[in-house]
Chains A and B, each alone.
Chain A
Amino acid sequence: MESSDRAVLQAAKEAIGTFLKGDASARLDEPIQDPELEAFRTQLNEVLTHCGETAEEFHSVHMRMADALTDWFECFNEVKRGNLDVQIENHYGDDFLDMLSSQINETVSILKDLDEERNRQKQQLIEQQAKMIQELSTPIIRVWDHVLALPIIGVVDSMRAKDMMEILLQSIVDNQARCVIIDLTGVTLIDTKTVDYLIKMVQAATLVGSQSIVTGINPEIAQTIARMGLDLEGVVTLRDLRAGLRRAFEILELEVTASRGA
């Protein structure tokens, strides 16, 4: 082997070495006299260029995929945390990746729709039940023309008392009821607050223009009221619903008589 050949080989080795170390621009730059060696040099340069381009392409594909994976991962994490408003906004310059992204977006929005639908149904159910409970807790009976009865059953708390007062007053106005009988037969336990609500309810009914009669206070409650030193000021109280209705008839100046002289 001639020394010039050896030099060319050495140069080629060096160029390949530099290339492998990461410098993609490494080439055999100096032209060679010998046509055979010159052909080898050109070929080697072509190979190096080709390898460089391929590596670059691989690199960019790799980067794009890394970007996409990061975005998807974040997206999934958000969804897992319950945030269904996320959408992948980025484009990766790659049809396949973009297609996958848009499919993930679609899936997330379908999930979101389902979630909203479920929440809506749940809300509807809660509202229905609340309405039902409210209606059941304030049953207003039209016992006679212009006479309403409100039987109270169970424990009265502030929320229920407020609802009851509103519903009662509205019914008084709607039915133009001149008398309201509030029946406490179903109330087994009473405290200061409940008595306070009761007095307020009676006062409000009077303000609207309706006379209230409280009936059916059982002995225990009567004792409690007496022991607590509460004053049912200005509240007409009677023994039972029957007595209350009789008083209502008196107020309305009605008289109940047997049709045949029984």
Chain B
Amino acid sequence: MYDDFEEGIIPIIRLRKVLLVPIQVPPSDSQAQHLLERILKDLRRGTHRILIIDVSSLDMIDSYLTRIFYDIAQAAKSLGVVSGLVGIQPAVAITLVQMGIGKLNVQTFLNLDDAIECLEERL
């Protein structure tokens, strides 16, 4: 269903107990859905306890993507994994707030250090 090129766009980095997903290009709806499936597969298989999605390169986040982030966080939670979003850009935050999406129901952090520190405490 997904060709190799599409699959290769978003890397998933496995580092000790952290699963790090840096999203560099705004994914299409199907890519986002596919990402969700890949992450959950990884989480079920591995021993990761923390999931961090890095969106610092994104200058746009649409409502579908926020929905996917929420789904990923909820699914991760059910697997005993704490999750967070890192590096939402100021312009993106303003757009989201103006769209009426003031809360993502996912914890957000300024940088990776903050995120790992905070999420480790919640384990």
Contact = CB atoms under 8 A, between A and B. Distances in A.
Interface stretch (B19-27, B36-44, B74-82, B109-117): B109-117
Interface residues of A, number: 20
Contact of B94 (A165, A209, A234): A165
A204 B110 contact: no
A212 interface: no
Contacts of B98: 200
Contacts, number: 58
A169 B103 contact: no
Contacts of A61: none
B65 to A, nearest CB: 13
A199 interface: yes
A204 B87 contact: no
Give the secondary structure class of B's interface.
mixed
Nearest to B111: A176
B86 interface: yes
Contact of B103 (A166, A177, A234): A234
Contacts of A203: 97, 102-103
Interface in B83-123: 86-90, 92-94, 96-98, 102-104, 108-111, 114
Residue in A165, A169, A209 with the greatest tally of chain B CB atoms within 10 Å:
A209
21 contacts: A166-B94, A169-B94, A172-B90, A176-B111, A178-B114, A199-B102, A200-B97, A203-B102, A203-B103, A204-B94, A205-B93, A207-B92, A207-B93, A207-B96, A208-B108, A209-B86, A209-B87, A209-B110, A209-B111, A210-B110, A234-B103
Interface of A: 165-166, 169-170, 172-173, 176-178, 199-200, 203-210, 234
